[in-house]
Structure 1
Amino acid sequence: MAVDTAVPTAVDRSVDMSVDLAGALLPSPMMTASGCAANGPELARLFDLTELGAFVTKSVMAEPRSGRGTPRMSETPSGMLNSIGLQGPGISAFVEKDLAWLDRAGARALVSIAGNTSGEFADVAAALRASDAFGCVVGVEVNISCPNVANRGLVFACDPLASAKVVALVREQLPRDVPIFAKLTPDVTDIVSVAQACVKAGASGLTMINTLLGMVIDTDRLRPQVAGVTGGLSGPAVRPVAVRAVWQTRAAMLEGRLPVVPIIGVGGVRTGRDALELVAAGASAVQVGTATFNDPTAPVRVGRELAQLLRDKGFERLTDAVGVAHGRVAR
Structure 2
Amino acid sequence: MISLQPGEITVGGVALHNHLLLAAGVLGTTGASLRRMLRLGAGGVVTKSIGPEPNPGHHGPCLVRTEGGLLNAMGLPNPSKEFVGEIEPLKDEPVVVSVYGKDPEDFKEVAGWFAGTGTARGFELNVSCPHAAGYGAAIGTDPEMVLECTRAVASHGLPVWVKLTPNVTDITTIGLAAEKGGASAIVAVNTVRGMRISTEMRRPVLGYRSGGLSGKAIFPIAVKCVWDLYEACSIPIVGCGGISTADDVVEMMMAGAQAVEVGSAVIDEVRVFEQIARGLYAADGVAAEEIVGVAHRV
Would the aligned equivalents of 2:102 and 2:134 in 1 still touch at CA under 8 Å?
Answer: no
Would the aligned equivalents of 1:19 and 1:285 in 2 still touch at CA under 8 Å?
Answer: no
Alignment of 1:6-85 (within 5 A): 15-38=5-28, 39-42=30-33, 44-45=35-36, 48=39, 51-85=41-75
Which residue pairs with 1:88 in the alignment? 78
Q: Does 1:101 align with 2:99?
A: no
Q: What displacement does 1:265 show? A: 0.4
Inter-partner Cα distance in structure 2 for 1:230 and 1:84: 11
Task: From the superposition, tell whether residues 45 and 168 of structure 1 become closer, same or farther in structure 2 (CA, over 3 Å).
Answer: closer
Which residue pairs with 2:98 in the alignment? 112
Alignment of 1:1-331 (within 5 A): 15-38=5-28, 39-42=30-33, 44-45=35-36, 48=39, 51-90=41-80, 92-97=81-86, 99-103=87-91, 106-131=92-117, 134=118, 136-151=119-134, 155-172=138-155, 174-175=156-157, 178-252=158-232, 258=233, 260-308=234-282, 315-327=285-297
Task: From the superposition, tell whether residues 153 and 79 of structure 1 become closer, same or farther in structure 2 (CA, over 3 Å).
Answer: closer
Secondary structure at the counterpart of residue 122 of structure 2: strand
Inter-partner Cα distance in structure 2 for 1:43 and 1:186: 26
Inter-partner Cα distance in structure 1 for 2:4 and 2:253: 18
Inter-partner Cα distance in structure 1 for 2:163 and 2:38: 26
Secondary structure at the counterpart of residue 208 of structure 2: coil
Q: What displacement does 1:284 show? A: 0.4
Would the aligned equivalents of 1:18 and 1:318 in 2 still touch at CA under 8 Å?
Answer: no
Secondary structure at the counterpart of residue 61 of structure 2: coil
Q: What displacement does 1:144 show? A: 0.8
TM-score by length of 1: 0.84
Q: Relative to structure 2, which stretch is displaced further, 231-240 or 294-303? A: 294-303
Inter-partner Cα distance in structure 2 for 1:304 and 1:16: 10
Inter-partner Cα distance in structure 2 for 1:227 and 1:152: 18
Would the aligned equivalents of 2:129 and 2:136 in 1 still touch at CA under 8 Å?
Answer: no
Which amino acid is 1:236 matched to? K
Task: From the superposition, tell whether residues 129 and 47 of structure 1 become closer, same or farther in structure 2 (CA, over 3 Å).
Answer: closer
Task: From the superposition, tell whether residues 275 and 221 of structure 1 become closer, same or farther in structure 2 (CA, over 3 Å).
Answer: same
Inter-partner Cα distance in structure 2 for 1:47 and 1:204: 23
Would the aligned equivalents of 1:236 and 1:269 in 2 still touch at CA under 8 Å?
Answer: yes
Inter-partner Cα distance in structure 2 for 1:192 and 1:286: 19
Q: Relative to structure 2, which stretch is displaced further, 264-273 or 152-161? A: 152-161
Which amino acid is 2:281 matched to? A
Task: From the superposition, tell whether residues 204 and 153 of structure 1 become closer, same or farther in structure 2 (CA, over 3 Å).
Answer: closer
Inter-partner Cα distance in structure 1 for 2:59 and 2:296: 44
Which amino acid is 1:234 matched to? S
Would the aligned equivalents of 2:102 and 2:135 in 1 still touch at CA under 8 Å?
Answer: no
Inter-partner Cα distance in structure 2 for 1:25 and 1:100: 18
Q: What displacement does 1:108 show? A: 1.1
Secondary structure at the counterpart of residue 96 of structure 1: helix
Question: CA offsets, 1:19-44, max 9 Å, x none?
Answer: 32133232311100000122441364
Inter-partner Cα distance in structure 1 for 2:34 and 2:222: 25
Q: Tell me how large the CA RMSD over aligned residues is.
A: 2.1
**Unpaired stretches in structure 1, ≥5 consecutive residues:** 1-12, 253-257
Would the aligned equivalents of 1:246 and 1:283 in 2 still touch at CA under 8 Å?
Answer: yes
Inter-partner Cα distance in structure 2 for 1:140 and 1:47: 18
Which amino acid is 2:27 matched to? A
Secondary structure at the counterpart of residue 150 of structure 1: coil
Inter-partner Cα distance in structure 2 for 1:46 and 1:232: 23
Which amino acid is 2:149 matched to? V
**Unpaired stretches in structure 2, ≥5 consecutive residues:** none
Inter-partner Cα distance in structure 1 for 2:48 and 2:235: 24
Task: From the superposition, tell whether residues 227 and 198 of structure 1 become closer, same or farther in structure 2 (CA, over 3 Å).
Answer: same
Which amino acid is 2:94 matched to? R
Q: Relative to structure 2, which stretch is displaced further, 297-306 or 181-190? A: 297-306
Identity of aligned residues (%): 34
Which residue pairs with 1:8 in the alignment? none
Secondary structure at the counterpart of residue 231 of structure 2: helix
> How many residues align structurally?
295
